Amino acid sequence: MSSLQHHPVDVDEQPPIVKSSASIGGTHRCQMLLMLIAGVLIGAILMASVTSSGLFGDRTPQTNVANRLASLTVTIDSSESSSVPLAHPSSRPATACPNVSHTTDAAQSLDASSTISPPAAHDYMGIAGPSLVSKSSTFTYELSAGTMFASGDPLLIEWVEYNLMLGVQHFWLYEHIKDPAIAKSAQPTPSQESLRPYVDLGQVSYERIDGENFIGLQMMVWSQMVSRARGVTRWLMLMDVDEFVVPKNTDSIPTLLIQYDKYAGVSLHWQQFGTSRVASIDPKTELVTETLRWRAPATGYDGDPTVNAVIKTIIQPKRIDKCTNPHICVPISPYTVVNTHFVALSPYVAQSQPIHSDVVQLNHYFTRDEDFLRRYKIGWRQLNPTDSNQKWMQYRVTKMMDEYDTTIQRFMPELRRRMQLTPLTADERARIDAKRAQKPTPYTQDELTTITTPP
């Protein structure tokens, strides 16, 4: 792989100075000088042509970061009652998390508290010098999300509302329906009905897709979403509905992404959550993201360091050539996809080491509760009870209850409001927090067999 694929190229980098030898005669020096001038002029003409064609984009430094942040700034009316019915998205503002300061100061947005720095050889977001970021390109959306979800997935609306709260402006959603007759029917599905308010507002573009090979269909959908998003959205999150982006130093995903503006994408590491020994979550009173708080160790186990090494990627579609797997995409040279520490990644892998979760983590609610695990996770995969897949699932269920993680909990009061759940009093929340903080007892082998056997 060439060095261009590992390091963003500054198109304004000056060519090396050509030094002439003292032994060259005056005539030869004049000829060399004329040739050099001619070469520079021809090079300038060619560069102007390439730049205007859009290959590199506008070379003007991106100095209006504050203006971009200002367009994302959200104000919540403190007088708004949390008991106001919120069934239709149009009945509430598209807000970010309350009690969060969304600065419009470009310098503050760089998160001075972070110890991570981009490569010193390149300017930061185009502020200190020329950038490959295209200033002339205009996008309808700053941040969008796309996924293919299983028909009837109960986590769908919680995922949509959470992402709206953190700055996603548009969704491309594909409902996977196994039965071709249902997929081609004019009758709306329950998932489609639940999405109708968002479709009416233009926040969701909805499609149906049918077929048995979920992974094969997923790659087809991923490629189609990248094509649809190119030139329409600056950033596109390619995630599953059980994956929730949790920034550590900001409460806005677009603000988080500004520091990765120079790249084709940034990959986030999973933090895999298990059942927390919760039998069933009642969607009328509880949230999955609020209830499940026990996960695998942040950097994995000594015997299995890969448990959280899996990545998912937020991309800039304009800089992506194709997607070869659901976890990362192939960038257009000279752009790269990096991890959160600005290290370039191979575009053909689904995992990366070391595991980083200090800037942002991707909460993956792999099993959800025990009822979902048995009836849907196992059922959808149609695992044979004697199959090695069941042993693998039992191992993961056992290991995903080792560390208590409340990183996402600061978003829960606002998410409950958006999901129309009854607000919790301080005492109620304290009791729930105390209960959830108790380390779950390990499953017995009989219990593991029960919850990993299809009904």
135-157, pLDDT tens digit by residue? 435 899 999 999 999 999 999 99
Task: Say if CB 454 and CB 383 are below 8 A apart.
Answer: yes
Tens digits of per-residue pLDDT, 380-435? 655 445 566 777 888 888 889 999 999 999 999 999 999 999 999 999 999 999 99
How confident is the model at residue 388, as a pLDDT?
63
How confident is the model at residue 178, as a pLDDT?
86
User: Which tokens sit at 393?
Assistant: 């699932």
- What is the rounded average pLDDT for all residues in the chain? 75
How confident is the model at residue 395, as a pLDDT?
84
Q: Within the chain, which residues score under 50 in pLDDT?
A: 1-33, 36, 40, 42-88, 90-136, 383-384
Residue of 258, 269, 236, 268 lying closest to 111 (CA atoms): 258
Backbone angles phi, psi at 272, to 5 degrees: -90, 125
Tens digits of per-residue pLDDT, 344-366? 999 888 999 999 999 999 999 99
Task: Say if CB 72 and CB 28 are below 8 A apart.
Answer: no
Task: Say if CB 260 and CB 266 are below 8 A apart.
Answer: yes
- Say how many CA atoms lie within 13 Å of 48 toward its Cβ: 6
Q: Are strands 328-331 and 311-315 parallel, antiparallel or unpaired?
A: unpaired
Domain coordinates in residue numbering, the chain = 72-77+90-451
